[in-house]
Amino acid sequence: MADVYLPSTLPPLFPGLPRRIELDAPTVDDAIRQIDERWPGFRDRLVEGGPAIRPHIHFYVDQERAGLGTRLEPRSRVDVIAAISGG
């Protein structure tokens, strides 16, 4: 099971969505789609047309910068980080 850690800005948008989710998925994109199946609209908050990860969102898999196609291992840690921006 991979562990997915989400930014604090997402749970308020989707009732019941936790900050940490365990799931089995072969890639980052599959992980996002799995969460989107349970919380429809989730993917659109992280992925834009292209498809591509939104410019101010970064994914890390086991502390390495990742893309939608990055493969996940059974014990991977996925961190979804909202950029330090705004004000």
Partner 1 sequence: MSQVLLVVGTRKGCFVLESDGDRRDWNVRGPFCEGWPVYHALYDTDSGNIYAAAASEWHGATVWRSLDRGETWTQSSEGLGYADDGDLKMSKVSSLSAAHGRLLAGAEQAGIFESRDDGATWKLLSTLDHPASKDWNDPDKQPPGHLGVSATIPHPDDAERFWAIVQGYSLFETADDGKTWTARNNGLRAEWPREYDDIGFCVHKFVYSPTDMSRMYQQNHCGMHRSDDGGHSWTEITEGLPSDFGFAAAVHPHDKDTFYVVPVDPGHARTMHDGKAAVWRTRDAGSSWRRLHEGLPQSDAYLGVLREGMTNDALDSPGFYFGTSTGQVFASCDEGDSWKEIASYLPAISSVEVAVVD
Is residue 13 a contact point for partner 1 (CB under 8 A)?
Answer: yes
Total length of the chain: 87
Of 7 and 62, which has the nearer Cβ to partner 1? 7
Rg (CA), the chain: 12
Is residue 78 a contact point for partner 1 (CB under 8 A)?
Answer: no
Is residue 1 a contact point for partner 1 (CB under 8 A)?
Answer: no
CA distance 9 to 57: 11
Whether the link from the prior residue into 51 is cis, omega within 30° of 0, is: yes
CA distance 82 to 70: 18
Instruction: Report the residue from 3, 34, 39, 57 that binds partner 1 according to the rule CB under 8 A.
Output: 57
Binding site for partner 1 (CB under 8 A): 7, 9-10, 12-13, 40-41, 44-46, 48-51, 54, 56-57, 82-83, 85-86
